[in-house]
Every structure is written in structure tokens, then in C-alpha cells.
Structure 1
């Protein structure tokens, strides 16, 4: 279900056991760190379950413009089970390819012009997966939001906190995984404010030319240490 520790290994048996438990019940993940866009893209693809043979049903939410549009985070496999939601200004560009790139998929895009619209669109996307699937497996539904910063800047911490609480609950109800990128350092005040909402916090950094991740589970007592993860 997860990238990082369960793929590259860890000597902490309790850590691995807890990851397995989260795999079964569903999880919420906050990804932090101001890193090169390629590193965030690779982490996002792994959290979305790209590059595996298992079926994934993905909800991608774009809140930012630039080279990492939501549509570029997925591969062709399972692309029919994809819902793209574009928040506000992103709606006009959600299916526009970056220069020199031709996305293999061009799904219909739902436009969300407010925080309430965004919550409704996510709820509807997950409901559609439930309706059109006989039985969703653990980890089959994957939700990713490319940045929380635009939402925090426009609506403030309290309203975004409430939205994340609702979205996390809805995703876990289908044993799915939701992850969100917040491009700030781990010790930023906003991370401390939001961290109670998340089962896992993944820190990203570049160290001596290597991409690295560190995973912390819930209360902070279980941590993977820094793990080298090469670009895909």
C-alpha cells in the first residue's frame, strides 16, 4: 500500500506491523518538505499506487498550476478508474499538457470553486467508485491533493482542518488512503496544527544528492529513519 519503509525495508518490526494495520483499515498521510518537484512527484506516484498490477481508483485534486498537474501523476494502467478535480483557477487548465508532454489520459474534470464544492466533489467521486464497484479492496481507493497551501491561504486553518477531517473519514470508510502535500518544513507551526488529523507524516529531503524520506506514525514514537529513495 505504501512507498518507503515497506518497500525498502526497516529493522523495526513494530513499525512494519503498524504499517500493515494501516493498510487494512485505511490511512491519511501528510507529506511535508520543500523539495525539488521531481522528488515530490515520485513520492506522490508511489502513494497513488502507480506502477503496480493492482487496480487503483484514484481521486486527484489539483490546487496549483505548474509542471506537476494532477493528470501527470498517474500512469495508463487503471486510468479508467480516475476522477480529477480542479480547484478554482485550475479548472481551465486541468487537461492541458505541459510543453513537450502528451498525457496518455484526458479524464473529465470536475470544477470546484469553493471549499464546500471541493468537499462535495471528493465525496461524489468516492461514492461513484462504490456504486460502480462490486467490492472495494483495502487500499484500492487513493486520493491525492497536490498542495494544501492555496486552501490554507484562502480559507484559513480552521476551515481547512474541518475539510481534511471529513475527507479523511470518507476515505477511510472505504479502507482507502488519502495523502496531501504541504511544501513546508516538518517543524512549521501549521504542521503541528494539522498533524492530529494524520496517521502518517512523510518528510522529504535531498541529502548529498540523494532523495530521502522519513516516515513517522501517529504519536511520533515510531519512525523509520531517513531512507534513500531513487527517482522513478
Structure 2
């Protein structure tokens, strides 16, 4: 049986795609909440990372229950693609385009649940892709963080401040940011 992505209160993939088209034009940031299984969060990430010839993806893995970055990326995308930048705080690793080596030379290895370091690296990656492409078109940049929960547990205030900075940066380049927080909706306030 095939699964279908649904909004609370109904809807289907077609409605989601229509809504996403509206958000693509101006840049947006989407908080995905709910106590949902990992496979559903991965499916939402793949849809939001999207397909396309000229697409730049930045994926930050924070939640230690996630198996691999591949589960979050569209099938046609590899973590080693030159258009993909992966920050893996779970394992203290990163995967970046070969030509980004000088842009990332000052970055320390990713530290578990360090939201400020994560914010700085995401901004470095955004700057790299913006310069590389000589300006990003709407929705070319896609950023995903999965999950915010460990960051909020460690330092809620710093996480909120860092997210304000990131969401403004992503909107400023007309990108799309997705932030996963797999907790009951009542706990997100």
C-alpha cells in the first residue's frame, strides 16, 4: 500500500505541491511538527528538497536516530553531488563539494548539538552556493535540519536566535528551509 503525505485536516500530495509552488516564489521556512515516524519525516524532506537541474541542497543531520543522509535526499541526488552540502553533527562529519574546500577551510568538525556552529556552517554553505551560481533563483536553494529537538534540549534560547538568523538568510535568497521537530504539537509552543 502506498503512503500519501497529508496535511492535518486532510489533503493530499497534489495540494501540498500547489502550496509549495506558492512558497517557492518568495522564499519560505517550514516547521514540520508532530510525533511522526522517521520514514514520514524522511519523505517530507525528499519532497521539500525537490528535483531539478539547478538545485542546491544543504542538509543538517542532528537527530541521532536518523540512519543516513540518503533517506532525506531525492533518489536522484547523492550526498557526494557538487550541489549537496551535508553537515552531520551526529558523527562529527561533513560532505561538501570539492570546490568548496577553501570556503570551508576555517570550519571545525561538526560538534553534536552545537546550534551556533551549525548556523555558521549553513550560512557558509549558502554564501558558497550564492557566489558559485552568481545569484540564486527562487527556490534553487533548499536547506533542511532534522531534527531541532536535540538543539532545543541543549539550548533553547540559542536555537531560537540562530533560527531567526537562518530563516532571514534563507528568505533573503528566496530559498526554502525545512525544520523537523518530531514531537507532539502541544510540545512545540
State the TM-score bracket (shorter-chain normalisation): 0.7 to 0.9
Whole-angstrom distance in 1 between the partners of 2:152 and 2:61: 14
The aligned residue for residue 132 of structure 2 is 132
Whole-angstrom distance in 2 between the partners of 1:21 and 1:35: 25
Alignment check: 8 A CA contact 1:70 1:146 kept: no
Whole-angstrom distance in 1 between the partners of 2:52 and 2:138: 15
Whole-angstrom distance in 1 between the partners of 2:87 and 2:167: 16
The aligned residue for residue 63 of structure 1 is 62
Compared with structure 1, are the counterparts of its residues 166 and 46 closer, same or farther at alpha carbon in structure 2 (3 Å cutoff)? same
Alpha-carbon deviation of 1:20? 4.6
The aligned residue for residue 8 of structure 1 is 14
Q: Deviations over 1:111-142 (max 9, x none)?
A: 33232211110110000001110331111100
Q: What secondary structure is seen at the aligned counterpart in 1 of 2:87?
A: strand
Alpha-carbon deviation of 1:64? 2.0
Whole-angstrom distance in 1 between the partners of 2:60 and 2:66: 15
Give 1:16-35 correspondences, 5 Å limit: 20-35=21-36
Whole-angstrom distance in 2 between the partners of 1:133 and 1:106: 13
Structure whose alpha-carbon radius of gyration is higher: 1
Q: Which of these residues, 74, 79, 85, is aligned with residue 83 of structure 1? A: 85
Alignment check: 8 A CA contact 2:170 2:177 kept: yes
TM-score by length of 1: 0.63
Alpha-carbon deviation of 1:56? 1.5
> Greater strand share, 1 or 2?
1
Q: What secondary structure is seen at the aligned counterpart in 1 of 2:29?
A: strand
The aligned residue for residue 112 of structure 1 is 110
Compared with structure 1, are the counterparts of its residues 161 and 19 closer, same or farther at alpha carbon in structure 2 (3 Å cutoff)? same
Q: What secondary structure is seen at the aligned counterpart in 1 of 2:24?
A: helix
Whole-angstrom distance in 2 between the partners of 1:122 and 1:73: 17
Alpha-carbon deviation of 1:36? 1.9
Compared with structure 1, are the counterparts of its residues 139 and 146 closer, same or farther at alpha carbon in structure 2 (3 Å cutoff)? same
Whole-angstrom distance in 2 between the partners of 1:6 and 1:39: 14
The aligned residue for residue 169 of structure 1 is 168
Compared with structure 1, are the counterparts of its residues 59 and 33 closer, same or farther at alpha carbon in structure 2 (3 Å cutoff)? same
Q: Deviations over 1:151-196 (max 9, x none)?
A: 011112x2111010000011111100111110112222xx22xxxx
Alignment check: 8 A CA contact 1:41 1:68 kept: no
Query: Where does structure 1 lack aligned partners over 5 or more consecutive residues?
Result: 11-15, 96-104, 193-232
Compared with structure 1, are the counterparts of its residues 21 and 36 closer, same or farther at alpha carbon in structure 2 (3 Å cutoff)? closer
